[in-house]
Amino acid sequence: MCLKFQRVVVNPPFFLPSFYRPMADDDYLVVWKDLESYWIQNYESNSNVSIQRFLEPPQLFSTPDGVGLGLPFVQGERIDRSTGEHHLLLHPDNAERLGELTSDYLGMNELLDIPHHLVLPGTDYIVNKAVDIQNRGHYQKLVKQASQANKRHRKLLDAQDEYRFAHTLLEAREHVFLSLDIEAYETDHSILLELGWTMYDARNDQYLDQHYMMEPYRHLRNGKYVDDQRMNFGFGTSVWATLDQALDELAKDLAWATERDGGFVLVGHGLNSDLLYLKQCNFEWPVVINRKRNGRFVLAETGVLDVHDSALVTIVNTDTLYGASINDLHNPPSLGRCLTLMDIEHWNLHNAGNDAHYTMELMMALLEKAPLVV
């Protein structure tokens, strides 16, 4: 027989602050979302209101008489970095009391229990804050905060994976790492003034730096918003050329690396805009077909516009590597700031050739810190 659900006024809320005992080293905690899911999946209500609906914020924390009002949650972060997610947690005593009231309200034949596997040592968590829920808006704010923290945490884990993979590739010494940079005209970003790239041949521990300046725009100079460093390339001889000529040289270097190794590693600091420029210029990245008998890889006659569909092994973002090295991806520093923080001497940034070279230096310096991350 289904009992009609009736709201029961609890005044004052049963979860008074004094009901919650302070955290101690021997305290235990329950992840609220895990407990909520367990109750919904393993119990049925005898009321016309399901357990799931009863535990939803508009019902559980409705004012002025929701049974969840005053429920003391704990905001906590899992200590284990590999699973260091943020959760809303309950002390088992409070979870048990909530289960009792929920069972009573829904006319259930059995009490909602708390399975042992959901009860965790409090020492597994860094407890950031204890809060008593005042209304559903308050609860939803806490859920949003936990969700945002977990999103940041997952991004950090991905960045650390990227760091470890880059370190593994460098240690393997099987590929060419190519960092590149483009300098655009400051008042019209569709005009490219410089293209520079640095190749590090990991097999032979050799560097090659290239810097091309666009001949058709020799008369255009930066300097109002961006430093004009076009004539100050510090790692070789700059070459005046058309954009097509410069892109042809870049394509030749990538083709050489790909034919030898079967792929290439792309390096950059805030690389997305540079890749977009190259795509707009219809630059084609090399694609591997198969391998010759003499050990060289065969490339397709035409490449692809999307670098991710090419022979790319991976993209190493030095801004991401830096964030991974300090466990903080928020507001990544500029290339110049990262170089300063890493004590790398540098001159005449905003020259495409120099920026490409220093980006490679930054990657090398960051990957030397691998034991701190790996």
Q: Which pLDDT tens digit goes with each residue over 161-211?
A: 999 999 999 999 999 999 999 999 999 999 999 999 999 999 999 999 999
pLDDT of residue 202: 97
Whole-number percent of the chain with pLDDT over 90 = 66
Q: Is residue 344 part of a domain?
A: yes
**Same domain assignment for residues 112 and 221:** no
Q: Mark whether 119 and 260 lie in a shared domain.
A: no
- Tell me whether residue 177 is in a domain: yes
pLDDT band at 27 (very low <50, low <70, confident <90, very high): confident
In terms of domains, do 194 and 104 share one? no
Tell me: the pLDDT tens digits for 104-120?
989 998 899 999 999 99
**What is the structure's pLDDT at 14?**
41
What's the 3-state SS for the chain? CCECCCCCCCCCCCCCHHHCCCCCCCCEEEEHHHHHHHHHHHCCCCECCCHHHHCCHHHHCCCCCCCCCCCEEEEEEECCHHHCCEEEEECHHHHHHHHHHHHHHCCCCCCCCCCHHHEEEHHHEEEEEEEECCCHHHHHHHHHHHHHHHHHHHHHHHHHHHHHHHHHHHHHCCCEEEEEEEEEECCEEEEEEEEEEEEEECCCCEEEEEEEEEHHHCCCCCCCCCCCCCCCCCCCCCEEECHHHHHHHHHHHHHHHHHHHCCEEEEECCCHHHHHHHHHCCCCECCEEEECCCCCEEECCCCECCHHHCCEEEEEEHHHHHHHHHCCCCCCCCHHHHHHHCCCCCCCCCCHHHHHHHHHHHHHHHHCCHHHHC
Tell whether 252 and 325 lie within a shared domain: yes
Q: Does 22 sit behind a cis peptide bond, omega within 30 degrees of 0 on the bond before it?
A: no
State both tokens at 374. 């790996």
Question: What pLDDT does residue 373 have?
Answer: 56
Tell me, yes or no, whether 147 and 180 share the same domain. Answer: no
Question: Could you tell me if 27 and 142 lie in one domain?
Answer: yes
Taking residues 51-59, what's their average pLDDT? Answer: 92
Q: Is residue 4 part of a domain?
A: no
The residue out of 154, 185, 217 marking a domain boundary is 154
The more confidently predicted of residues 331 and 340 is 340
User: Domain for residue 12, yes or no?
Assistant: no
Q: Provide the pLDDT confidence category of residue 7 given band limits of 50, 70 and 90.
A: very low
Buried b (16+ CB within 10 A) or exposed e, 117-152: ebebebeebeeeebbbbebbeebeebeeebeebeee
pLDDT of residue 303: 97
79 and 114 belong to one structural domain = yes
In a shared domain, residues 192 and 129: no
Helices 352-367 & 136-172, crossing angle to 10 degrees? 100
pLDDT of residue 103: 92
Q: Would you state the pLDDT for residue 10?
A: 36
pTM of the entire predicted model:
0.77
At 54 the pLDDT is: 92
Looking at the structure of the chain, the number of domains it has is 2
Indicate the average pLDDT of the chain.
88
Q: Are residues 138 and 186 in the same domain?
A: no
Q: Could you tell me the CATH number of the domain that includes residue 269?
A: 3.30.420.10
pLDDT number for residue 314: 97
pLDDT, tens digit, for every residue of 253-303? 999 999 999 999 999 999 999 999 999 999 999 999 988 777 899 999 999
Q: Give yes or no: residues 150 and 177 share one domain.
A: no
Q: Higher model confidence: residue 77 or residue 36?
A: 36
Residue 314 structural domain: 173-373
- Residue 245 and residue 328 in one domain: yes
